[in-house]
Amino acid sequence: MKQSVVLLTGAAMIALMLACASLPEKEFSLANERRSLLMKYKLNTYASNEFVLAETNYTAGKTYYSNDNGKSKESLDKALTNYNIVLQKGFPLAADDSKKQADAPKKDADDIKAAVAVKEEYAAAKKLYDDAIAAKTAGNYSNAIDLLQASKVKFEAVHKKAKEKRTGAEKSIKATDTDIKNVEKTVKEIEKLRDEEQKAMKKENAQ
């Protein structure tokens, strides 16, 4: 009986000590930081199972925070583990997707010879793209994604401007062709009138 009481008392003391443990401020801060980062880049879509586990433990950690700091820390540690897995799995895949999104307008710009039509603007977009690829290769995925998204927007603008210049040039060429044809038509009409006048004069002289 006494042994049972001692065991119960010991268990109660341990529970009390855990409940009275210091606030897991560091774990809570890190969990918030990791969570914000992966949400910013929508990495949860690349590792949904781990994200669900992380969110469950994160919610528990917040619930226990201040009330049972031992359980709070335990839950937040588990949340951190799964958030880190989401980051590790998600970032490379998200960077690959961002590259594909940037590659499309880049190809459009290349196909229309934007590097010649709008040289400076194309060079600026290409620099962003090259810097992004370098960052991706180095494993700096957040920077790579940001740069790829920026280059995507730039290449879209470059393609649009180059297309407008080409359209304007084509219209100008068509207008010039029309002018040339009009001149040629006028020349032919003048030559026709001249021939008719010469024929008329010959006829009069013959009489």
Q: What are the pLDDT digits (tens) for 146-160?
A: 999 999 999 999 999
Choice between 151 and 193, residue whose per-residue pLDDT is larger? 151
- Does residue 184 lie within any of the structural domains? no
Angle among Cα 62, 65, 66 to the nearest 5 degrees reads 155
- Contacts made by residues 168-175, CB under 8 angstroms, sequence distance 24+: none
Q: How far is CA 20 from the centre of its chain?
A: 46
Rounded distance between C-alpha atoms, residue 53 and residue 79, angstroms? 7
Identify whether 206 is part of a domain: no
Report the percent of the chain where pLDDT is more than 70.
71
Residue 185 domain flag: no
Helix (H) or strand (E) holding 48: helix 48-64
What is the token pair recorded at 83? 């958030």
**132 inside domain:** yes
Domain annotation covers residue 151: yes
Encoded tokens for 56: 């469950």
pTM above threshold 0.85: no
Check residues 207 and 18 and name the one with the higher pLDDT.
207
Q: Is residue 190 a part of any domain in this protein?
A: no
Tokens representing 9 are: 């008392």
| Both tokens assigned to 5 | 């009481």
Domain residue limits at 115:
2-162
Residue 167: pLDDT over 60:
yes
How many domains in the chain?
1
